[in-house]
Structure 1
Amino acid sequence: MSDVTSAAAGLAAVAGQLAAGAIEVVDLTSPLHAGTPVLRLPERFGQTARFALEEISRFDDRGPGWYWNNFRTGEHTGTHFDAPNHWITGKDLDDVSRVPAQRLAGPAAVVDRTAQTEADPSYLLDVPDLLAWQEEHGALPENGWLLYRTGWSRYADDPEAFANAGERGPRTPGLTPAAARYLAEETGILGLGVETVGTDAGHAAELEPPYPCHSLLLGAGKYGLTQLRRLDRLPATGAVVIAAPLPIVGGSGSPCRVLALVPAGAR
């Protein structure tokens, strides 16, 4: 059997399993609306626009047979994709329109640290966590996604709780600089997916380097996925994740739909 014939048979099998419900499609995307949490920077910096719809027509004199809208928002609003050129370390690398489609889909490794983040909202995933996970589940997948499950999406419909900002600024989970460097330099993952507003911890400006996930992962040509939901529906291994950003020419990212293909009953 040729490689092409074998691949075609494999795709036909997947299609059949999808139709039969043996493979479940789990939507990891947060709804996009005016109340979707957005990252707020110190006032001296530029700010992203919240999502807004502007009605064009709705079965009325402006368009009797159709309903449609314009929308306005930032590239990095809601569940979104960070392209390498989003950060200064990757400024000469791909914009979101140039990311190869082949690199938008891959196997997923899910690292669960919900217990730790419930005890400490500023918990930082570290290299020993990643090594321990691999000792139990095997190596992180080449050309796959690392999804960091923290349970933070339980706050996603409450912008204040989601930001968790106090006198010392926001406190949300993330990665240590060492873990970000390890993923950037010593693994073949496509990128990192998180439940929080961005791939870095809320207090990442205090780390060295600041914002290590953005700096190191995007600088290495890897990607970020943020504000994911339903990671509890995914097994530690065995799912396939597909991220679909808009191909905005020159864009640094895009809101996207993120789907996971999961064996039914895997969790």
Structure 2
Amino acid sequence: MTAQNTEPGDRPLWQLHEQLQSRTFTDLTHAFFPGMPHFSAFPDEVRHQRFDVDPDGFAVHRYELVGQWGTHCDPPSHFVDGARPIDEIPVQQMILPLVVLDISDRVRDDPDAVPTLADVAAWEDRNGVMPAGSFVALRTDWHQRWPDNEAMANHDDGGVSHIPGWSREVVVDLVERVGVTAIGHETTDTDPGSSTSAGDYGLELFLLQHDKWQIELMANLDQVPEVGALIVASWGKPKGGSGFPARVFAIH
């Protein structure tokens, strides 16, 4: 077989890769481990060292954990019987325009803060209409509390969790007007702590019922611009899976 000489223009994706090396890559993922913050109804991770380099010549861990562990993806089937499981989310949806909706200033003063349609309008006044098919991430800077379980849950004396979350008006707007592919947030749940403490997960249900997916427990959104970045999200492919730990990063 004779090798063919090709011009650089014949390899546009390789050229794109070279161009990306001058960009910033920001990891939006927490490393997971036993004992880390997680949804209270879930068991803790258990990790076994099945083989070790000394004396076996190679290292292998066995992991026992729920799918919704650490920074993870929730597919529609997480809440909706018969909906898309995680292995049916196409790889084309794993690279998306990233919109960062920042309410971190309000959260500093009020941990129960949620985004409003005025926040969305202000973002669009600055940057233009949010792109259809995008990934919208809610920046609250809650990730800075990781991995302190008590700080992440932020319970009051009555056991109510005071953590930020999405609002119904904004989630409905993102799904019905913007047409997002997915959303993400830094907390353990879509709904704010005041709702989840009462057993109300209605916003997550609404999102997943509309065949969207989400990433929970994101990190480092304070290091990403509110417009212009790409998000790359990937995960393992358990057949029929209801969720799985994810590796997520931004290019900006």
For residue 104 of structure 2, what is the amino acid of its counterpart? T
2:18 aligned residue (13, 16, 19): 16
Shift of residue 91, structure 1, vs aligned partner: 2.4
Structure-2 separation of matches of 1:111 and 1:251: 29
Distance 1:185 1:6 in 2: 40
The CA deviation string for residues 141-175 of structure 1, in whole angstroms up to 9 with x for no partner, is 22211011101001011011001112141111012
- What is the CA distance between 1:75 and its match in structure 2? 0.8
Question: Any idea what SS the aligned residue of 1:26 has?
Answer: strand
TM-score by length of 2: 0.90
Within the candidate set 166, 169, 178, 1:175 is matched to 166
Contact kept in structure 2, 1:57 and 1:69, CA below 8 Å: yes
Say how many residue pairs are matched.
244
- Tell me what 1:51 maps to: 45
Q: Distance in 2 between matches of 1:36 and 1:99?
A: 27
Query: C-alpha separation between the residues in 2 aligned to 1:169 and 1:256?
Result: 28
2:67 aligned partner, one-letter code: E
**How do 1:85-164 residues align onto structure 2 when only pairs under 5 Å count?**
85-87=77-79, 90-164=80-154
Structure 1 outlier segments of 4+, above 3 Å? 5-8
Q: Distance in 1 between matches of 2:78 and 2:163?
A: 21
Aligned amino acid, residue 78 of structure 1: G
Q: Which residue of 2 is the match for residue 44 of structure 1?
A: none
Indicate the residue corresponding to 2:3 in structure 1.
Answer: none
1:217 matched residue in structure 2: 207
Provide the rounded CA distance (Å) in 2 between the counterparts of 1:148 and 1:240: 15
Q: 1:257 aligns with which of 229, 233, 247?
A: 247
CA-to-aligned-CA distance 1:221-255 (integer Å, 9 cap, x gap): 11111111111111111111011121111211111
Q: Alignment partner of 1:143: what SS?
A: coil
1:206, distance to aligned residue in structure 2 (A): 7.2
**CA 1:7–1:55: 2 relative to 1, 3 Å:** same
Where do 1:61-100 residues align within 5 Å? 61=55, 64-87=56-79, 90-100=80-90
Could you tell me how far 1:202 is from its partner in structure 2?
1.1
Amino acid at match of 2:62: N
* Residue identity opposite 1:187 in structure 2: V
Cα distance change on mapping 1:139 and 1:203 into 2, 3 Å: same
Task: Tell me, yes or no, if the aligned pair for 2:77 and 2:84 is still in contact at 8 Å.
Answer: yes
The 1:16–1:132 alpha-carbon spacing in structure 2 relative to 1, beyond 3 Å, is: same
Structure 1 residue 259, shift from structure 2 partner: 1.2
What letter matches 2:148 in structure 1? Answer: D
Structure 2 distance, partners of 1:156, 1:243, is 20
How far has the Cα of 1:257 moved from its partner? Answer: 0.3
Q: Percent identity?
A: 27
For residue 14 of structure 1, report the CA deviation from its aligned partner. 2.5
**Residue 192 of structure 2 aligns with which residue?**
201
| 2:217 paired residue number | 227
Q: Distance in 2 between matches of 1:6 and 1:79?
A: 38
The structure that is strand-richer by fraction is: 1
- Contact kept, 8 Å, 1:108 with 1:141, in 2: the verdict is no
How large is the Cα RMSD of the aligned pairs?
2.0
Q: Which residue of 2 aligns with 1:265?
A: none
Instruction: Give the alignment's TM-score, normalised by structure 1.
Output: 0.85
Stretches of structure 2 lacking an aligned partner (at least 5 in a row): 1-7
